[in-house]
Amino acid sequence: MTYNVRSMRDDRDALGRVIRSAEPDVVLIQESPRFLRWRSLCAELARRGNLVVVSGGRPAGSNLILSTLSVEVVDHAEVLFTRDPRLHRRGTAIATLSNGGSRFAVAGTHLDLVEQPRLRHVGELEQALEKHVAADVPVIVGGDINDVPGSPAWKALSSTRQDAFAVAGQGDGWTSSAIEPRRRIDALFVDPRLTIAKTWVIEGADVERATDHRPVVVELEL
């Protein structure tokens, strides 16, 4: 699952129910709490989703990785991207994981609203993956892209990966906003060595109360 939670500023009970409803093994969170008590708030978010914290938070530009206890953590890293004046600091949380004996890696990110740094940070994300993930480990990248399919940033992310919703999604896949969705700006990009069984966007009353984005979920065959 990839999910922008808007720093948990909305209905936290609904947020927990939305996450639990999909029973995800791994969740990539954007806009995790990053100021006062950010560690304890990230831990609270994990508990509400019946998950544990793997990596990320403020040192990763407010990108956070959560997982179930059935997922083994092999390695993890927090990386900050280059800074731009007057813009939010961006970054990525990366983790190499194992489930059922199969090893894979995930990277969560939240790209900028401005096109030039957004595209530059995609390149920095790829460099971070090359540094922190072994070449023989398939990678899933997910997050709030702040852009739409067909854009330069989207094309860069999907040049060597599968856009999970384009492969196995149903409907329009719109994720923003949660109440009146009109754009698909949240996505999961999957290594071609993995099989995408199903991709969906969660809807419903809890989704509309939990935050301002709709989460995307992908079911993978490792």
Q: How many CB atoms lie within 10 A of CB 157?
A: 24
pLDDT for position 178: 98
Q: Write the pLDDT tens digit of every residue in 109-142.
A: 999 999 999 999 999 999 999 999 999 999 999 9
Q: pLDDT band for 187, please (50, 70, 90 cuts).
A: very high
Two tokens at 156?
């860069």
> What is the pTM assigned to this prediction?
0.97
pLDDT for position 115: 96
Q: Write the pLDDT tens digit of every residue in 30-52.
A: 999 999 899 999 999 999 999 99
CA separation for the pair 85, 69 (Å, rounded): 40
